[in-house]
Chain A
Amino acid sequence: MIARRRAGTTEIRRDDRDRLGPFGRFYVTFVVVAVVGPFIPLLIASFAFRWNWPDLLPSRWWWEARETARLPLGWDYVFSPVSRVLESAGNTVLIALLVTLLCTLISLPAARVLARERFRGKSFVEFFLLTPLIVPEIAVGLGILVTFIQLGLAGTFTGIILVHLIPTIPYMVRVLTSVFQGLSRDYEEQARVLGAGPLRTMWHVTLPMIMPGVIAGGLFAFLISSNIFLLTFFIGRGRIETLPTLLFSRVSGGGALDAVAAGVALIVCIPGIIMLVLTERFIKEEVFAKGFGG
């Protein structure tokens, strides 16, 4: 009897956990509305031809005006070469990929040392790595611009990639430091004992084991890089357009949300969403996920 009643109790408890209480339901609804909500006007605006305040919906839609217009409108314009949207998207992704790669290569050894070794001035190095997050971008950007103009790096891809490393490296180093702290030295030592030199230990043991963390850090770096406006704007000098700078030039006029600006704004979100989906799938399907106590 008692046993049965106990079993019943635990079942009820499990049900409770699956089903949210009134506060939980409110909270989830709130989060969904807060995340998805802002996109709805953007989506509507991108399909509008005329949308005046205080109308709830556009009075004239893009496809209604499409036939009669002499110039490409709305999404037609967004995807036409004149808008430079596709070119900027390509630039954004290319820059973000290279920044992610470089940032990972630079941060891996740094994070390893910060996680494993004790040395004089370590806390200073840690603080120094955080300063890009503390110092305003505009101050850094102006200083770098002056230098880069003299070096001939202003307005070049190299220049933009270099400045994008400034805000991405602190994040990457932080993520990877905690990843290395979570990886016992024993694994690398065991590999050495079994006859693997430092490079092969890194390749066969360390990297596969920290891969989920590297991917998480890479995702961060990619997203940060593809969202940087100010530094790209300064160093690119208008010669190299990325999605954030393009969007800025579209909306800087007067803040009116025209269909093209709305379209560009939506496209700016795409790299991040693609990365998120890819990462999620990759981490889930990873063969070695098995090894991590799964």
Chain B
Amino acid sequence: MTELRLAALVKEFDDFTAVDHIDLTVAPGSLVALLGPSGCGKTTTLRMVAGLEHPTAGDVLFDGESVVGVPTERRNIGMVFQRYVLFPHMNVAKNVSFGLRMRRVSATEIERKVAEVLEVVQLQDLARRFPSQLSGGQQQRVAIARTVITDPRVLLMDEPLSNLDAKLREEMRAFITRLQRQLGITTLFVTHDQVEAIELADRIGVMFDGRLVQFGTPEEIFNRPRTKRVADFMGTNNLIPGRLDVQRDASTLVSVAGPLQCASGAHHVSGEDAIATVRPEHIDIGTPNGPLQGPNRFTGRIDDAVYYGGTLTYRVVADGLSLQVRDRSTRRFAVGEEVTVHIDPSHLWVFPE
């Protein structure tokens, strides 16, 4: 298994900087998703790893060895493109064996491996078909089979699921996860879909404007965003804006609903605008004048209630704040009912506005 490392990687085009000093390590056998809106430089980064784009500065290292001077065809990588890019003049077997044929592997070995890989992607009956005779999902599986058959050191995927419909996308997501774990290939995955990134990746790198803004586990990125842009992009819930007031051992966020005591956060500078976030399941909810005690208590009204996956999610409007609250208990509050919500300071995450 290979470790992939990007060191201060820069790519400048004529008039703009597409990739701006990216440092990133993909641990051997793990899957890292580069997540960001289109035009953020994630695909350019991927293309530099593939050698299809030459970096302006910085380095790409496989197991600590620079590959910048190595042409694409000798990097021993695999890449799955957004549009599958199957060769239309070759049938499935020929497409899948292309990489082996280019490596001058013997015919018997090719036959054996093709059969083996086609079985893994469950396409053994379609070996003689041409790409135009396959469905989108089948084409995608051929593209993946063609890529993994050569045992690449690093697998690169450029939005491989964006051309599939919702149901197929889910299937392919599960398939890719399974295959990647099974083969243990170091994988860099580019996507603009945060759900996809959260589900597939061991680590996520969030990119904006050519910069890597945050790198961490999906849980960290989702629950502890470093900036508001990350929070917005990840669809993080319960963003409470306010102004920070930092004392010696406690910080307080003064929000429209009043002061909130916070225990943890990305930075603490008094007087600055900041945002606090809390997961819906970390907000306690109860009847007014009930047993809920301590700081960070608000009274509000149930605005909406949605039942999903065994829990009720309420929208509570309290003193100008709109909070999503997930209640795992069996009690039920009706829409319009008055409630008290309580947020434990340790569950609040503060980051700069």
Residues of chain A whose beta carbon lies under 8 Å from any beta carbon of chain B: 184, 186-187, 189-197, 200, 204-205, 208-209, 287-288, 290-294
Q: Is the CB of A195 within 8 A of B52?
A: no
List the B side residues contacting A208 at CB < 8 Å.
87, 89
Residue B210 at the chain A interface, CB threshold 8 Å: no
Q: Is the CB of B52 within 8 A of A197?
A: no
User: Of the candidates B72, B89, B103, B146, which one forms a contact with A287 in the assembled complex, judged by CB atoms under 8 Å apart?
Assistant: B89
Considering the chains assembled together, what is the distance between the CA atoms of A193 and B72 in angstroms?
A: 6
Considering the chains assembled together, what is the distance between the CA atoms of A208 and B88 in angstroms?
A: 9
The verdict on A195 contacting B99 (CB below 8 Å), with A186-B83, A291-B132, A294-B132 known, is yes
List the B side residues contacting A187 at CB < 8 Å.
85, 87
Considering the chains assembled together, what is the distance between the CA atoms of A191 and B85 in angstroms?
A: 10
Residues of chain B whose beta carbon lies under 8 Å from any beta carbon of chain A: 50-52, 71-74, 76-79, 81, 83, 85, 87-90, 98-99, 102-103, 130-133, 146-147, 150
List the A side residues contacting B133 at CB < 8 Å.
290
Q: Is the CB of B132 within 8 A of A194?
A: no
List the B side residues contacting A190 at CB < 8 Å.
79, 81, 85, 87
Chain A-chain B contacts (Cβ-Cβ < 8 Å), number: 80
List the B side residues contacting A200 at CB < 8 Å.
102
The verdict on A193 contacting B77 (CB below 8 Å), with A205-B87, A288-B88, A291-B89 known, is yes
Candidate in A187, A195, A287, A288 with the most chain B CB atoms within 10 angstroms: A195
| Least CB distance, B145 to chain A, in whole angstroms | 12
List the A side residues contacting B99 at CB < 8 Å.
194-195
Known interface pairs A288-B88, A292-B132; 6 further A-B residue pairs with C-beta atoms within 8 A, sorted by A's residue number = A187-B87, A193-B72, A193-B78, A194-B73, A204-B98, A208-B87
List the A side residues contacting B81 at CB < 8 Å.
186, 189-190
| Least CB distance, B33 to chain A, in whole angstroms | 20
The verdict on A186 contacting B85 (CB below 8 Å), with A193-B78, A197-B73 known, is yes
Considering the chains assembled together, what is the distance between the CA atoms of A96 and B147 in angstroms?
A: 44
Instruction: Give A189's nearest chain B residue, CB to CB.
Output: B52
Q: Is the CB of B132 within 8 A of A193?
A: no
Instruction: Give A209's nearest chain B residue, CB to CB.
Output: B89
Instruction: Give A200's nearest chain B residue, CB to CB.
Output: B102
List the B side residues contacting A294 at CB < 8 Å.
132
Q: Is the CB of B77 within 8 A of A291?
A: no
Candidate in A194, A196, A288 with the most chain B CB atoms within 10 angstroms: A194
Q: Is the CB of A291 within 8 A of B88?
A: yes
- 11 A-B contact pairs sorted by A residue (CB < 8 Å): A186-B83, A187-B85, A192-B51, A192-B71, A192-B72, A193-B72, A193-B73, A193-B79, A195-B102, A200-B102, A290-B89
The verdict on A192 contacting B103 (CB below 8 Å), with A209-B89, A290-B130 known, is no
Q: Which 6 A-B pairs have the closest CB atoms?
A: A291-B88, A288-B89, A195-B102, A194-B99, A192-B72, A186-B85
Instruction: Give A286's nearest chain B residue, CB to CB.
Output: B89
| Least CB distance, B54 to chain A, in whole angstroms | 13
| Least CB distance, B240 to chain A, in whole angstroms | 45
List the A side residues contacting B78 at CB < 8 Å.
193-194
Considering the chains assembled together, what is the distance between the CA atoms of A187 and B132 in angstroms?
A: 15
Instruction: Give B158's nearest chain A residue, CB to CB.
Output: A186
List the A side residues contacting B132 at CB < 8 Å.
290-294
